Amino acid sequence: MGLRVVRSLAGSLRARGVESGFATVRAGWAGVADIVFPRVCVACRGPLTDDDGFRHLCSPCGAAVARIRPPACGVCGHPFWGVVEGARTCVHCDRLAPRFGSGAAAVLLRGSARALVLELKYHGGRHVLEDMAKLARESPQIIDHVKDAVLVPVPLHPRKQRERGYNQSHLIALMLARSAGGTTCVRPLLRRIVDTVTQTAFDRKQRQANLKNAFALASGATIVSGTRYVLVDDVFTTGSTLNSCAGVLREAGAVNLDVVTFGHG
């Protein structure tokens, strides 16, 4: 309990620096936080040095991140290993009837990359976004996929967002927009109207039933038919959540609609 409080305080000191936008303030906060609370690797809890490449992963854990490299499934982004011939069906999404065009992901959600996502989602670790940004920038399939699109974060229910203090998918979308540059921007066009219980214990059918009508267009949101939209979520698991969101945007008139996730679970 005590350690968790100390860790989240250190995280919030760093996060304040990260979000301030002023390099000096950021360096100042990070420096203070490092002295008072020495940084540890979010994956193995071992000590960190300035030469690790990542800011929150040690060298071995950083090297162990399972980065996705082409060729990959065009629907969910899972990599194809070995020789790829003919139709590109994928066991991870072949039972999904996607309501979006194509998908891409930066990493497989295991080991160190999983630790980054868990830190962001459940431990208030907004500071790990800088390492996620590094991984995204080093994944051309992600940057090309989001460039010059309108990024639409998968929303959290307002109750959950109040509890967490932020929507991790929104933060990932902002990070991707900054990394891709150009006219890439973030628009929270969706809202979650049903407070669905956590999805992890459900199979695909239960998830779909659970998510039926869980999302709606945000009030005042407008869809422009010529615009390319890319839904953003932290993780692709069964695709059910992204598909529900895609259905809402499709019905509102979105024609050019793709998805992107940081990880593939």
Q: What residues make contact with Zn ion under the rule CB under 5 A?
A: 41, 43-44, 46, 58, 61, 73, 75-76, 78, 90, 92-93
Q: What does the alpha-carbon distance between residue 15 and residue 24 come to, in Å, rounded to a whole number?
A: 14
Nearer to Zn ion by Cβ, of 99 and 170: the residue is: 99
**Smallest distance, Zn ion to C-beta of residue 183, A:** 28
Minimal CB distance residue for Zn ion? 90
> What type of residue is 217?
L
Residues 6+ apart with CB under 8 A from 162: none
Which pairs with CB-CB distance under 8 Å and at least 24 residues apart come from 224-227?
225/253, 225/254, 225/255, 226/255, 226/256, 227/150, 227/254, 227/256
CA distances in angstroms from 103 to 8, 38, 142, 164, 261, listed in the order given: 33, 38, 9, 27, 8
In the complex, minimum distance from the CB of residue 84 to Zn ion, in angstroms, rounded to a whole number? 12
- The distance of closest approach from Cβ of residue 90 to Zn ion in the complex, given in angstroms and rounded to an integer, is 3
Nearer to Zn ion, 125 or 155 (CB): 125
Between 108 and 150, CB nearer to Zn ion: 108
Least Cβ distance, residue 42 to Zn ion (angstroms): 8
Least Å distance, CB 48 to Zn ion, is 8
Q: Nearer to Zn ion by C-beta: 53 or 181? A: 53
Residues in the chain: 265
For residue 140, count other CB atoms closer than 10 A to its CB.
11
Nearer to Zn ion, 76 or 152 (CB): 76
